[in-house]
Amino acid sequence: MRELVVSWDSPQGRTLTRMVTARETPDEAVEDAVLLAGNLARNEADDIAPKPGPPRTPALSLAAPVPARNPFATMAQRERRLVASASFFFPLATDLDRRDATSALDVNLIYGRIGGIDGAQLGLINVVTPERGRGTGSVTGLEIAALANFVGKDVEGLQIAGGVNVTRGGLDGIELAAIGNSAAERVRGAQVSLGFNRSGGKLEGAQLGLVNTADDIDGVQIGLVNVARRVRGVTVGFVNIADDIDGVPIAPFSVTKSGGLHAVAWSGSSGFASVGVKFATRRTYTLLFGAYHRDFDRDFTGGGLAVGGRVSLGAEFHADIDVSGTYLVAPKASTDVATDSTYHEQLVQPRVRLTLGYRVAQHFGVFVGGAGVGQLRSELGWDRVTASIGPEVFGGVEL
């Protein structure tokens, strides 16, 4: 272990000496010596050294000696800046002895590493991270990487990557990537990718990708699968999952803790028996169901989809309104006497329903309602079609 010793003779004839652990490079040792000498000259050494305690009787100790503590370990380090830096594959770089510095322009051919960016960083793989506790570890400006950008702390600006952008702090700006974006803390701005987007903290802005995840959201998520804790805004996708959505979920399947997943069964004049699963949020729901119906002296089976919303009428009562469509096919073939050909009749039933429900218990409720139903009956394929419109009454249970 190398040591750095600095002494100072005061005008009163008093000599002060301090010894600390020397850092690696000569430049760093000179810098520490200058700072320590100035500290001694200002008679501030007592603020660094521990205060002497009350006198006590010396005792024999077999404990191992404690290494001298560097007083600069807790001091704020001065930020070093570079106009430009370059590397082929770090540590083959111009900033090898200044890896903690903040560079205005950092360029690499394969892999570059620097303590901070206040400007731009361009290369194949860009890494910004503190070194031995020194350096900002942050990016202010622009990062463009053919493969990946990795930042140890925050990003303010724009990141573009052919692969991924990874930020261990927060993002104030925009991330664009082919594979995905990940910010460990809050995001103010936008994350856009062809794959995934992740915000470990609150999202104030937008996420656009196949899979989007965030904590609280004030903004919009657009993707195949959207996951969040609490959403205040709009989520558009195929599946939306959240603790609560205080906004507009647009998806075939949206599920929240405040809404839940419910089994539903009902019977009506235009559908003798229907069984389905309701994917609900606090105010909206999607209902996927199978159906059986008998009409025209034939049995019909099929299924449908309903999308609607709920209005609370108190602790137990609620009203639902939805728009649905049902497609039914007769399993038994029919014969056309004129052509002696066989076919399967089909029914298409669009409807608008109004439902009044009562929650008997936490996991059991009943409902009744009415609907306006249109019906298209197809014979001989779609060569012969008849249409009708009429009312429907129905009732059922929801678990």
pLDDT attached to residue 211: 96
Please give the model's pTM, rounded to 2 decimal places.
0.64
When divided into structural domains, the chain yields a total of 3
Look up the CATH number of the domain holding residue 284: 2.40.160.20
Task: State whether 245 and 266 are in the same domain.
Answer: no
pLDDT attached to residue 179: 96
Q: Enumerate the β-bridge partners of residue 171.
A: 155, 187
Residue 26: phi, psi to the nearest 5?
A: -60, -40
Contacts of 337 (CB under 8 A, 6+ apart): none
pLDDT attached to residue 89: 87
Task: State whether 206 and 295 are in the same domain.
Answer: no
Task: State whether 290 and 146 are in the same domain.
Answer: no
Per-residue pLDDT reduced to its tens digit, 179-197: 999 999 999 999 999 999 9
**Which domain covers residue 343, as residue numbers?**
260-398
Contact of 192 with 209, CB cutoff 8 Å? yes
Task: State whether 191 and 239 are in the same domain.
Answer: yes
Across residues 225-243, what is the average pLDDT?
Answer: 90
Rounded CA gap, 251 and 239, in Å? 6
Rounded CA gap, 290 and 327, in Å? 9
Per-residue pLDDT reduced to its tens digit, 111-142: 988 889 999 999 999 999 887 667 788 999 99
Contact of 165 with 175, CB cutoff 8 Å? yes
